């Protein structure tokens, strides 16, 4: 089921919670709305569900316009942040509630509920009540209740935010498995960039009621279009550089960072132009000696180091008092550095991303 959002605007007084947002979500796609609190992502989800009436724009399921249609007739399933389970009903009755409201027969309800409980691995807990379940089990009941009515579109509003970190990881994998098995179009809201990267086919980054960028997780991470997107989707080293020349033979921009020369891949640009570049911590490598002939080789001093077993994270001072973060995977014990140690580091010319300023 394709979801098409055209120029949606939603106001609360003088505040534009959503400002002329347009999106096209393909059938069977897991599409995530990602952004900080108050950016408009949940409001847009509520517009799709029918719980919020837009002040402008249109929403379509395939070719059918659905924004004038009441929520209970839109054939959407909704999973809320707090699960919204009925405490006086057991698991079976919670999941069956939507089918009974649709006047389905007893035998049909029995087979449909058992089928969906198998899908979420809860068939042995059908007679338990919500207060007898763990957080992850309650989340799966809420998911089953949304899916059992066989909605055209599944809507999920930060469904994992109440779970601990380890359970969030296992449950996001479970949600992804079920969504792909059923092939249902899913619109998912979260503020957790790691969660969005792990679970999504595509992501729309929101800020202040507007879409900043749409793309696959890899496109968003490796090719952010702005400083906001770069900073919101992972740790970012952002550096201001001044262009000094251009090497046409190798398509390299020649520039300086506080007087230190740097060369990066990019299109020809005029000397004197100021640019901003992004360097992810894992794109920066540690050099063994100054005899290294790499073109972007720099000196720095370790300010702090954090060892986590499979990785060590360094904060280093370089480029005249600029702090950089470097992450080294699978570090060797005899190569670990401490605060105050000198450090040589380098990066490939094609790694930095030039951002709009």
Q: What is the mean pLDDT of residues 213-219?
A: 96
| pLDDT tens by residue, 175-201 | 898 899 889 999 999 999 999 999 999
How confident is residue 70, by pLDDT bands cut at 50, 70 and 90? very high
Q: Is the pTM of this model over 0.75?
A: yes
Q: Distance (Å, rounded) from C-alpha 294 to C-alpha 349?
A: 10
- Regarding predicted confidence, which is higher, 61 or 335? 61
Q: Distance (Å, rounded) from C-alpha 350 to C-alpha 201?
A: 26
Q: What is the reported pLDDT for 21? A: 97
| pLDDT tens by residue, 93-144 | 999 998 998 888 988 999 999 999 988 888 899 999 999 998 888 988 988 9
Q: What is the reported pLDDT for 56? A: 96
Q: What is the reported pLDDT for 10? A: 96
Q: What is the reported pLDDT for 205? A: 97
How confident is residue 357, by pLDDT bands cut at 50, 70 and 90? low
What domains sit in the chain, N to C, each tagged with a CATH number? Answer: 3-232 (3.40.50.300), 237-355 (2.40.50.100)
**Residues with Cβ within 8 Å of residue 320, at least 6 apart in sequence:** 258, 259
Q: What is the mean pLDDT of residues 284-309?
A: 87
């Amino acid at each position: 089921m394709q979801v098409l959002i055209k120029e949606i605007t939603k106001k609360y007084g003088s505040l534009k919670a959503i400002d002329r947002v347009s999106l096209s979500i393909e059938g069977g796609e897991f599409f995530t709305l990602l952004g900080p609190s108050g950016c408009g992502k949940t409001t847009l989800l509520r517009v799709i569900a029918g719980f919020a009436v837009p002040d402008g724009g249109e929403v379509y399921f395939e070719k059918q316009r659905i924004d004038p249609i009441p929520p209970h007739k839109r054939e959407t399933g909704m999973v809320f942040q707090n699960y919204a389970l009925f405490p006086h009903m057991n698991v079976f009755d919670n999941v069956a509630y939507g089918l009974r409201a649709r006047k389905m027969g007893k035998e049909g309800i029995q087979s449909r509920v058992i089928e969906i409980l198998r899908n979420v691995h809860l068939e042995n807990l059908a007679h338990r009540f919500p207060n007898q379940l763990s957080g992850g089990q309650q989340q799966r009941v809420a998911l089953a209740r949304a899916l059992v009515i066989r909605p055209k579109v599944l809507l999920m509003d930060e469904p994992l935010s109440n779970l601990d970190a380890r359970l969030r990881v296992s449950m996001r994998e479970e949600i992804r498995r079920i969504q792909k098995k059923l092939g249902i179009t899913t619109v998912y809201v979260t503020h957790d960039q790691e969660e969005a990267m792990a679970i999504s086919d595509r992501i729309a980054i929101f800020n202040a009621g507007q879409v900043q960028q749409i793309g696959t997780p890899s496109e968003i991470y490796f090719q952010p279009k702005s400083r906001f997107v770069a900073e919101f989707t992972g740790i970012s080293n952002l550096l201001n550089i001044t262009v000094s020349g251009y090497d046409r033979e190798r398509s390299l921009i020649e520039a300086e960072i506080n007087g230190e020369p740097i060369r990066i891949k990019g299109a020809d640009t005029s000397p004197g132009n100021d640019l901003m570049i992004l360097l992810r911590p894992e794109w920066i490598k540690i050099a063994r000696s100054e005899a290294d002939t790499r073109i972007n080789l720099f000196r720095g001093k370790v300010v702090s180091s954090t060892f986590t077993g499979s990785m060590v994270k360094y904060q280093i001072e370089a480029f005249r008092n600029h702090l950089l973060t470097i992450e080294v995977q699978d570090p060797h014990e005899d190569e670990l550095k401490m605060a105050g140690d000198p450090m040589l580091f380098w990066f490939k010319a094609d790694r930095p991303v030039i951002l709009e300023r």
